[in-house]
């Protein structure tokens, strides 16, 4: 038998988030909102997902904050 399986993270961009001032770079911009999850795939089909979180990411330096 031959199985193709995988394990990794998946990111889905949800669009624009809030306007925030970044604690790392000090710039005030509109941050991007992302949903991330870890997943297990079998034959490239997602079987299980866990650890879902929503983040807002600074568009300049990449600093992330949990929403």
47: closest CA among 8, 11, 2?
8
**Predicted structure pTM score:** 0.74
CA distances from 17 to 6, 34, 36, 42, 55 (A): 31, 9, 15, 33, 9
Span 5-64, pLDDT tens digits: 899 999 999 999 999 999 999 999 999 999 999 999 998 899 999 999 999 999 999 999
CA distances from 29 to 53, 57, 64 (A): 22, 10, 13
pLDDT tops 90 at residue 2: no
Cα–Cα dist 62/48, whole Å: 28
Residue 62 pairs with which residues in a beta bridge? none
């Amino acid at each position: 038998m031959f199985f193709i399986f995988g394990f990794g993270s998946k990111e889905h961009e949800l669009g624009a988030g809030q306007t925030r001032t970044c604690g790392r770079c000090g710039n005030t911009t509109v941050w991007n909102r992302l949903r991330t999850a870890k997943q297990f795939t079998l034959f490239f089909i997602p079987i299980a997902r866990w650890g879902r979180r929503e983040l807002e990411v600074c568009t300049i330096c990449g600093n992330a904050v949990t929403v």
